[in-house]
């Protein structure tokens, strides 16, 4: 059976609702950062929501996920509750990792969300390990690795793709190509700017997808997962997307033209999908308003959850570390 997006009214509401949850969560995080409620590094996913919802929302409970430091959207799409996720942003003990991971290291064993990774390309070999473990135990799960195009310049990218093919591992590689690795335009760093062609060099079935179209991303992901679960080995998706905000909250964005940003905003995945769904009769204007209100209320509740959370006592500073095992 060929992969289909399974679009009906219920599913359309789900796709739009998930994208709105991510967008409003990220906008609130930006606001909280200016209030110094959230500290350290913060990388927002605004503009790229279609990829998280289209890819992660398609996975089964047995699949594992390795993401980047821009992973809040992936975490929400995976089903990690928004309250503990926001508390993790705050660094509170009621966060997903008791506040020890923060924005860049979200982890949740219950959903097999195997962590955001602050090292560029660092998640690729982890996905190979997860895929190898799944193959050795003869399981049905797939290891999904999401990374930016900046990771392509790292040796781990080539090593991981090569091993995935040699060992025929159940791994789905998803490159979220937003055209700028931090502040470097892709044409300044890569001789071959079509990233999926690099994957083809390793004989991986590879496809480029419109990462601003949630339906296209979901359909491509379903098809890729079917091939992997059928024993065809790894698959590769290059999702062409764009971050509307800076690389991080410390980025002045002097490397890209404001007109370019505005042109990409015209392809906003949320506005694009909601407009299409309403014009096609799949959704009504009231649905959009209702979903926005629901997501906004969830964000408010998540902030309250984080605000009410306690800080871990200083006496527990070495808990869960190697120092905790050192005799006093």
Number of domains within the chain: 1
Q: Is the pTM of this model over 0.85?
A: yes
Specify if 1 maps to a domain.
no
Question: Could you tell me the strand order of the sheet in which 64-66 lies?
Answer: 64-66, 143-148, 171-177, 235-240, 205-210
Burial of 30 (0-12, 13-18, 19+ CB in 10 A): middle
Specify if 214 maps to a domain.
yes
Return the closest-CA partner of residue 52 out of 253, 232, 237, 245.
237
CATH number at residue 112: 3.40.50.970
Domain that holds residue 210: 9-325
Specify if 2 maps to a domain.
no
Helices and strands per DSSP (H, E), number in the chain: 12, 7
Specify if 4 maps to a domain.
no
Q: For every one of its 328 residues, what pLDDT tens digit does the chain have, with 9 covering 90 and above?
A: 234 456 899 999 999 999 999 999 999 999 999 999 999 999 999 999 999 999 999 999 999 999 999 999 999 999 999 999 999 999 999 999 999 999 999 999 999 999 999 999 999 999 999 999 999 999 999 999 999 999 999 999 999 999 999 999 999 999 999 999 888 888 888 888 899 999 999 999 999 999 999 999 999 999 999 999 999 999 999 999 999 988 888 777 778 889 988 999 999 999 999 999 999 999 999 999 999 999 999 999 999 999 999 998 888 888 877 766 656 5
Q: Do the Cβ atoms of 148 and 118 come closer than 8 Å?
A: no
Specify if 138 maps to a domain.
yes
């Amino acid at each position: 059976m060929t992969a289909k997006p399974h679009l009906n009214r219920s599913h359309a509401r789900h796709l739009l609702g998930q994208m709105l949850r991510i967008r409003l969560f990220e906008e609130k995080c930006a606001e909280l950062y200016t209030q110094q409620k959230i500290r350290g590094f913060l990388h927002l996913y605004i503009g790229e929501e279609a990829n998280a919802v289209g890819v992660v929302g398609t996975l089964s409970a047995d699949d594992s996920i390795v993401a980047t430091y821009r992973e809040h959207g992936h975490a929400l799409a995976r089903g990690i509750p928004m309250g503990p996720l926001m508390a993790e942003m705050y660094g509170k003990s009621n966060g997903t990792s008791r506040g020890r991971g923060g924005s860049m290291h979200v982890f949740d064993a219950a959903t097999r969300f195997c962590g955001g990774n602050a090292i560029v390309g660092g998640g690729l070999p982890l996905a190979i390990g997860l895929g190898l473990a799944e193959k050795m135990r003869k399981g049905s799960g797939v290891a999904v690795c999401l990374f930016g195009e900046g990771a392509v310049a790292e040796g781990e990218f080539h090593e991981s793709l090569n091993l995935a093919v040699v060992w025929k591992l159940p791994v789905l590689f998803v490159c979220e190509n937003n055209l700028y690795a931090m502040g470097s335009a892709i044409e300044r760093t890569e001789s071959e700017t079509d990233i999926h062609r690099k994957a083809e060099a390793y004989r991986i079935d590879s496809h480029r997808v419109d990462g601003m179209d949630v339906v296209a991303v979901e359909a491509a992901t379903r098809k890729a997962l079917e091939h992997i679960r059928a024993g065809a080995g790894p698959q590769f998706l290059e999702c062409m997307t764009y971050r509307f905000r800076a690389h991080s909250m410390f980025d002045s964005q002097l490397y890209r033209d404001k007109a370019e940003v505005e042109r990409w905003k015209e392809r906003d995945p949320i506005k694009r999908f909601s407009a299409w769904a309403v014009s096609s009769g799949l959704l009504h204007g009231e649905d959009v308003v209702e979903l926005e209100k629901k997501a906004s209320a969830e964000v408010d509740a998540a902030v309250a959850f984080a605000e009410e959370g306690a800080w871990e006592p200083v006496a527990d500073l070495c808990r869960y570390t190697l120092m905790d095992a050192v005799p006093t």
